[in-house]
Amino acid sequence: MSANTLNSTPCNNSAPVGRPRAFDLETALQKALEVFWQKGYEGASLPDLTEAMGINKPSLYAAFGNKEQLFLKAIERYENRPSAFFYPSMAEPTAYRVAERILLGAAAEHSNPLHPPGCLMVQGALACSDSGQSVKDALIARRKAGFEQLVQRFEQAKAAGDLPADADPQGLAGFIITVLQGLSVQATNGACAEQLHNIARTALRAFPAGQN
């Protein structure tokens, strides 16, 4: 073959077209979220996840990274779900209404039969060993951010005269967060919606009514 023949041969430098992804990312992530919600981060094994998501391990790694990255993506999805109630509660007009929406929202959401009971933010970190410390730290940071947001909202309420002058915004926020986490544990232990609602209402009796 002559040099001219070689030079006239067209070259195909384009990369081969990859195989299309055979699964829907959002659906797979939702399935992973449900597994983590039910079993926690460490309780959810890779076989649990791949079976629920309908994919194999290489596909999981290619689409989501490792298990930790998958969990953090699931947490982001959880925080932005339509039924999320914590941050939207901050827009309520009074401190009491904020507390009420948070606790009654938790009572309803944690007992919703359409998904696992309790709160993923609480369940996800249970029994985390040293290998899951980074996940536990990420969840703690998120809960701390929620606590600080609630403190700030109650400080605003106090400054506006909605809460008594001697009210302790940090103490009130800690109280609400403690009850909130307790509702999650109770739901996981089998408490029904009515029981959780009663717990929430009992807790609200201890909250300064202010201008509710």
**For residue 72, pLDDT beyond 70:** yes
pLDDT digits (tens, 9 = 90+) for 142-193: 999 999 999 999 999 999 999 999 999 999 999 999 999 999 999 999 999 9
Which of residues 34, 58, 81 is at a domain's end? 81
Tell me, what CATH number does 51's domain have? 1.10.10.60
CA dihedral 161, 162, 166, 171 (to 10 degrees): -140
Q: Which domain holds residue 34?
A: 23-81
Averaged confidence pLDDT in the chain: 87
Label residue 12 by pLDDT band (50, 70, 90).
Answer: very low
Question: How is residue 156 written in tokens?
Answer: 């605003």
Of 103, 130, 127, 131, nearest to 187 by C-alpha is 103
Backbone angles phi and psi of 81, in degrees to 5: -65, 155
Q: What is the CA radius of gyration of the chain?
A: 24
pLDDT of residue 123: 77
Does a structural domain hold residue 2?
no
pLDDT digits (tens, 9 = 90+) for 42-70: 889 999 999 999 999 999 999 999 999 99
Label residue 211 by pLDDT band (50, 70, 90).
Answer: low
| CA–CA distance, 111 with 140 (Å, rounded to integer) | 23
Give the residue carrying structure tokens 């194999």: 56
Same domain, 72 and 161: no
Of 74, 179, 178, nearest to 124 by C-alpha is 74
Same domain, 56 and 86: no
Q: Provide the domain count of the chain.
A: 2
Of 21, 143, 137, nearest to 78 by C-alpha is 143
Residue 166's contacts (CB-CB under 8 Å, 6 or more residues apart) are none
Same domain, 107 and 202: yes
Element (H, E) at 34: helix 25-43
Same domain, 68 and 118: no
pLDDT of residue 130: 63
**For residue 115, pLDDT beyond 70:** yes
Does a structural domain hold residue 28?
yes
